[in-house]
């Protein structure tokens, strides 16, 4: 039987010797992080400052951008330190903190996308009742439902992994994750596994069911409506669908990377697959929404000429401007 102990640090074995390219990788990663921070903060400020953007859709977008900042901050500072370091170790408390940040980020992202799909469903399928159904109080409650349950659920994960007696301290990744820590345990992990399945059902399958249902209803309205209605729905939903697919693919990559043996893959590809859901959504979401939503583009840029080809569609009492 292996000797079990409560180790004070973990070794991140996903890193490899970069040699003279160390500072090149540092500049690339630092540039990515700077772009994520600047672009997301810019859009948050634009939404908060401009009263014309104080609508449900933009409030949910603001929540999404805040989460992108939160998730990337849980990864990039540690990544920058490890790139400069010769010994890729991280203390146990910081490792557990990173586990909490990474997993709560993922849960919040899925819930945020589910609430955004519900908002689009109401705007397209119930235009006459939109303002009555999506009130300020309801928006506040939905944003609280996006953030509070994932934080609580993932906070309860810590008492399950911190006391585990571990037979090793090597994590074959470039950041800490719950599954890798549980695999190091010598003690019984039945409770961890059951709780992990419950959390997965809550944070992944629940939001996906909401998203599938809302888009089925949206498609039904589109097929039964006019060509103009279909065009408006497509323009409104395309950025959201792109964001959903981008994050979902990244989450799938991470699950495959964690659950299956991928030692035959090149190190760079394994690192890319494991980091995709933590880096690509924060990079691409500001671009997708900032460039596609005309209200944000118009309020953050120069005033367009009066004959600009701006088409404002009004869902009766719930309005949405599209370009």
Q: Please state, for a pLDDT cut of 70, what percent of the chain lies above it.
A: 86
pLDDT of the residue at 43 = 92
Domain 9-322 class in CATH:
mainly alpha
pLDDT at 321 over 60: no
Q: Please state, for a pLDDT cut of 90, what percent of the chain lies above it.
A: 34
Q: How far apart are CA 269 and CA 71, in angstroms?
A: 21
Residue carrying the six token digits 């973990």 = 10
Summary mean pLDDT of the chain: 82
Q: What is the pLDDT of residues 198-250, one digit of tens each?
A: 888 888 888 989 999 998 888 887 777 677 777 777 777 888 888 888 898 88
The structural domains of the chain, with segments of one domain joined by +, span 9-322
pLDDT of the residue at 36 = 95
Q: What is the DSSP letter of 20?
A: G
Beta strands in 132-200 (DSSP E): 170-171
Query: pTM (2 decimals)?
Result: 0.85
DSSP-H helix ranges across the chain: 22-49, 56-73, 76-84, 92-125, 130-133, 136-155, 158-161, 178-183, 190-200, 206-224, 227-259, 267-292, 294-300
Q: How confident is the model at residue 316 (pLDDT cuts 50, 70, 90)?
A: very low
What are the residues facing 90 on neighbouring strands? 10
pLDDT at 322 over 70: no
């Amino acid at each position: 039987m292996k000797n079990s102990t409560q180790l004070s640090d973990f070794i991140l074995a996903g890193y490899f010797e970069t040699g003279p390219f160390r500072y090149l990788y540092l500049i690339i990663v630092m540039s990515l992080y700077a772009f994520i921070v600047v672009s997301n903060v810019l859009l948050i400020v634009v939404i908060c400052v401009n009263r014309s953007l104080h609508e449900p859709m933009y409030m949910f977008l603001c929540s999404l951008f805040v989460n992108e900042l939160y998730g990337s901050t849980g990864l990039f500072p540690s990544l920058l330190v490890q790139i400069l370091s010769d010994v890729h170790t991280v203390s146990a408390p910081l490792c557990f903190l990173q586990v909490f940040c990474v997993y709560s980020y993922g849960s919040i992202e899925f819930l945020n996308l589910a609430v955004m799909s519900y908002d689009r469903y109401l705007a397209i399928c119930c235009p006459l009742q939109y303002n009555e159904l999506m009130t300020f109080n309801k928006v506040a409650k939905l944003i609280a439902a996006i953030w509070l349950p994932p934080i609580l659920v993932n906070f309860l994960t810590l008492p399950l992994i911190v006391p585990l007696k571990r037979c090793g301290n090597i994590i074959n990744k470039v950041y800490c994750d719950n599954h890798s820590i549980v695999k190091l345990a010598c003690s019984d992990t039945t409770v961890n596994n059951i709780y992990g399945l419950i959390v997965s059902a809550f944070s992944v399958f629940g939001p996906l069911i909401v998203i599938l249902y809302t888009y089925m209803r949206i498609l039904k309205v589109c097929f039964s409506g006019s060509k103009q209605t279909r065009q408006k729905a497509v323009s409104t939903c395309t950025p959201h669908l792109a964001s959903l697919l981008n994050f979902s693919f990244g989450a799938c990559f991470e699950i495959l990377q964690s659950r299956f043996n991928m030692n035959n893959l090149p190190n760079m590809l394994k690192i890319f697959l494991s980091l995709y859901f933590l880096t690509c959504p924060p990079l691409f979401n500001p671009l997708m929404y900032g460039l596609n939503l005309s209200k944000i583009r118009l309020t953050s840029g120069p005033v367009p000429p009066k004959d600009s080809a701006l088409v404002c569609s009004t869902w009766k009492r719930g309005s949405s401007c599209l370009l």
